[in-house]
Structure 1
């Protein structure tokens, strides 16, 4: 029995919580929680039976983790942070099954570049990319089975690399936490070989199997403060907004139809909740709690029963399982309390109705493709793609093609570091935008005049400080000032000056895919760009299909001449067939002077003023 299963999601939202200072009330709760944790750990020491001890530790530890998460979430400062519309992809496909088919049929495998004699990495590429916790919204599973090599030898998948296995192995890439689906083909290590061993049989095909469960339908409810306490019903689904506060919402869902038999014991989460602020942008989530008071009381009751036992037994295990099944059978609703980073104006609740379900199972036999970021090949490699996927973040990215001087200046943030008195640092930073992407490599940092000042008796800006040239250094291109306090005759309190910011003039155009000018060519879903006529330093291209939506780019390859390393042409591959191209060209580059007066942070041990 795995008593952790009802609480398995705790680790997910706990890992997303931000650290920070504690308010007095939080400190009190934290102290109480630490005391309870200490008492719980002491009680574990008194349990002799190892199975019983593990079960108590798992369930009790999960409950304590939930309480710790609840404290963190409820006291976290409300700081606005925007995310993506994680449900946008649901709006592009007529049925949930169409989304599933796109997900499965758009999967392919890349061989990643490697300089190792005995490691070859394989990267499964999915048509949809998700950031935790916004995973693919339907229950799904993917199992890799084997890789076929160029000598027709089949290497079975194994869950971890074995140091004692002398043969070729296929296992997960243990060092890559950002792409947990990546795999590695490991060859036996040969002492003394330092370059790529081309005599080794190469991976050709990756085999596996995938299963996805699609709901009957997805219902979406847009709710605001006026909907608190009201039941909203669509067919067999009813949603109630229990609470809507500044940064969290509590929601209850009931489905009058039973769960489809095909879903089995998956128990998928049917509630997907997003929030927007008054700007209409989606707020990122800071965490969620999916257990209501009745559920928590039940788990605490089971924990108390465990703690009364002297030893674990099969009969007691069955008792707990029966109690859990009976309790879950009585549960007629789903509950969630979702916290967001920012002040909520409205919430969007999507309900996955699994009263009917379609289970798609498919055996995968995927050819392993190789696309180098920089290629010396003179021919264009095809990458046929049977699915269409849109990029819903593109309009927000491209809006900064018309970035104004004031918008650029207002986005600047000033950060200081005075930990090292000999290398104190001021950084002028701003979010990277599409305008920055088109600045090119030819910009000149220019001058950045600055003056350091003392403070007067009132703490205001005082007299300028005369300094040797080696006392500070300005890097206008990077927007940084580095100064050595040991070379200052007296402590600086302010710095005044200006640094250059850069703003591109960008001209937008539209081209019909059937009437492209010389230097642009479409071969299926691949756009070929002649770098002599449309250099990537100053041009960008984005594709749309007949729907008017931006197509998601799969990858890009830059083809270069081997003898000079100069670019010949770039190739951009898309999920779908482009019908129009949007072009963006940098026609000019402007320097914007950012004037500033910064009050300087004091180092912990300020240098003694010299006479």
Structure 2
């Protein structure tokens, strides 16, 4: 019942940042909110009618949740964190329908490697990878129906695994929350009887149905501080940047055309917003609030009307629903988006669902097996009818020319003194393409470190004479571990150097039609001879005729025997490569990172009572 489930109507999309600190004024806001929450819960106790109590609890609880999120988001410290360009894929497809067709036709199913004799996991692989809060931008419905086994037996899909079902089952993989579409074929387990999974009929084909609704068009607006308060209109779409502050933007959208009937009762989010800082990089989102002051006032008015009732009635429910329908019909779409970093400009994409195209397709997908390590001597084909580009590769590959100073400047130092016998100093830096090509031969015996006391002014004092077992340096991992119990004096500073490793990388290009010995294209698969182009020092990236990088689907290493050396690698791509970029590490140098670290003091142990 809509009037009793207004949490969905509020459309909350918030990140409750429980770990952020609070200033005194923030603490006052929090105290006030807690008082209001306690008062609200007391008022619920006085409501006798269960239907009325549930409706008041739903709406009142939603409003309090929204207020709590608003306080958390507004008081979160601004710390820069970058994200991928989630909207880059729009530029590769001329229409939203072309994007939908690629999404559906690029789907295939992998059988995942398993050590279990009773479970076989199936992984549907989509050509685009999306993570919350940015799932696939169009409404999508996916239903799995059955799996056909090698003995032609059909196992129907069931929403959860049954402990009492004695047969073979197909159900969602409950242990994998990051890939909710993953499935598991479960074979019966009989206590005391060894059952070899290989003797069981194996999954061959997965059947299902997919439905995707595509908007008629996607509009994109690039907005900055100068656009605040000004309407930007294209066709039936009007976007207004209401505010652009340090770490948030407020945006209002109006579509003069009505929503298409295909979309249904729950309209999808038409606003996709990204923010950049002055470096041009995209900032990650920290949360959003999708209700403006007018909307909140309306829901608070409805809550007040509920609280005046003694009982719930169908007539009262109908009145609330009519008021809500009339109000929402007049409303524009509003969002207040918070980002992790200082905003310079925002990119707003609007999905126009005033017209929509619904694509439904019955799926009958062969189940393929591509283990990361294979003993097969032949290359397995993975034909792919779609082309997908990788817009993140250019950013990733820029670190092929990483300089010594850039490497040094990227280092961050952290400490841990919770365990006095294993206190740690860690030198870390973001993992880059340069790190990926360092290989396995890194080593350095030079990592001097000296511990010092502090003088009366808190500055560096005398060096501390220590036995060898008092500390240990791991140059490759960039860690220093020391045992405070073996220190004759309390250390206050650590001074020394730690090695960083930098690859010298040579870049080249190869025409797909003129590849040297050791490289071969078989359709969309690149075969790399590991004797001539070992993966320890070589990387290959493919481009198609458009000049854009192709997304790699997966890679397989082929060996002559189990645990033996790799003979050749195979890289599969979404699309047909016409050009290969090659990257070869031809040298490895050590960069000495000098440091002086003021050491954290361990917390004093609580005094024991006599």
TM-score (norm 2): 0.96
Is residue 104 of structure 2 the alignment partner of residue 113 of structure 1? Answer: no
The residue number in structure 2 matching 1:197 is 197
| Structure 2 counterparts to residues 125-524 of structure 1, below 5 A | 125-192=125-192, 196-331=196-331, 333-524=332-523
Identify if the C-alpha distance between structure 1 residues 152 and 52 changes in structure 2 by more than 3 Å, giving closer, same or farther: farther
SS in structure 2 at match of 1:73? helix
What CA deviation, in whole Å up to 9, does each residue of 1:303-353 have, x standing for no partner? 22333333333333333222221221222x111111111111111111111
CA contact (8 A) 2:209 2:362 kept: yes
Q: CA deviation at 1:505?
A: 0.7
In 2, the alpha carbon distance for the partners of 1:164 and 1:63 equals 43
Residue in 2 aligned with 1:574? 573
Residues 14, 289 of structure 2: 8 Å contact kept: no
Compared CA separation, residues 16 and 377, structure 1 to 2 (3 A): farther
Alpha-carbon shift at residue 493 of structure 1 (Å): 0.5
Q: How does 1:92-111 map to 2 (within 5 A)?
A: 92-111=92-111
**Judging changes above 3 Å, is the alpha-carbon distance between structure 1 residues 11 and 604 closer, same or farther for their aligned structure 2 residues?**
farther
Q: CA–CA distance in 2 between the matches of 1:109 and 1:581?
A: 27
- In structure 2, the CA distance between the partners of 1:568 and 1:600, relative to structure 1 (3 Å rule), is same
Q: Is the 8 A contact 2:239 2:253 kept in 1?
A: yes
TM-superposed CA distance for 1:270, in Å, is 1.1
Q: How many Å separate the matches in 2 of 1:149 and 1:497?
A: 63
- Measured on the aligned residues, the alpha-carbon RMSD in Å equals 1.8
1:239-298 deviation digits (Å, cap 9, x = unpaired): 111111111111111111111122222311111111111111111111111111121122
Whether contact under 8 Å (2:454, 2:491) holds in the other structure is: yes
Contact 2:5–2:55 (Cα < 8 Å) also in 1:
no
Post-superposition CA distance 1:561-607 (Å, at most 9, x none): 21552101111000000000001111011011111110000111289
296-305 or 136-145, larger mean C-alpha shift? 296-305
Q: Partner of 1:215: helix, strand, or coil?
A: strand
Shift of 1:140: 1.3
Cα distance, 1:392–1:194 mapped onto 2, change above 3 Å? farther
Greater Cα shift, 564-573 or 44-53 = 44-53
Residue 8 of structure 1: SS of its match in structure 2? helix
Query: What SS does structure 1 have at the residue aligned with 2:405?
Result: helix
SS of the residue corresponding to residue 85 of structure 2 reads: coil
* Cα shift at 1:390: 0.5
Given that residues 150 and 204 in structure 2 are in contact (C-alpha distance below 8 angstroms), is that contact kept between their aligned partners in structure 1?
yes
Any idea what SS the aligned residue of 2:385 has?
A: coil
Q: Is the 8 A contact 2:447 2:497 kept in 1?
A: yes
Cα displacement (A) at 1:134:
1.2
CA contact (8 A) 2:11 2:290 kept: no
Tell me the residue number matched to 1:600.
Answer: 599
C-alpha contact 1:292 1:336 (8 A) present in aligned 2 = yes
Matched residues in 2 for 1:519 and 1:193: separation?
49
- Aligned partners of 1:545 and 1:208: how far apart in 2? 32
**Take 2:436 and 2:193, find their aligned partners in 1: how far apart are those partners?**
41
Shift of 1:192: 3.5
C-alpha displacement of 1:39: 1.8
Deviation at 1:44, TM superposition (A): 2.4
Pair 1:40–1:166, CA change in 2 (3 A): farther
- The equivalences for 1:34-113 within 5 A come to 34-113=34-113
Tell me how far 1:543 sits from its aligned partner: 0.4
Taking the aligned partners of 2:429 and 2:224, their CA distance within structure 1 comes to 33
Q: Partners of 1:475 and 1:10 in 2: how far apart?
A: 53
Alpha carbons 2:275, 2:344 under 8 Å: kept: yes
Change (3 A) 1:536 1:70: same
Distance 1:477 1:464 in 2: 25
Q: Single out whichever of 223-232 and 12-21 deviates more from structure 2.
A: 12-21
Cα pair 1:491 1:606 within 8 Å, conserved:
no
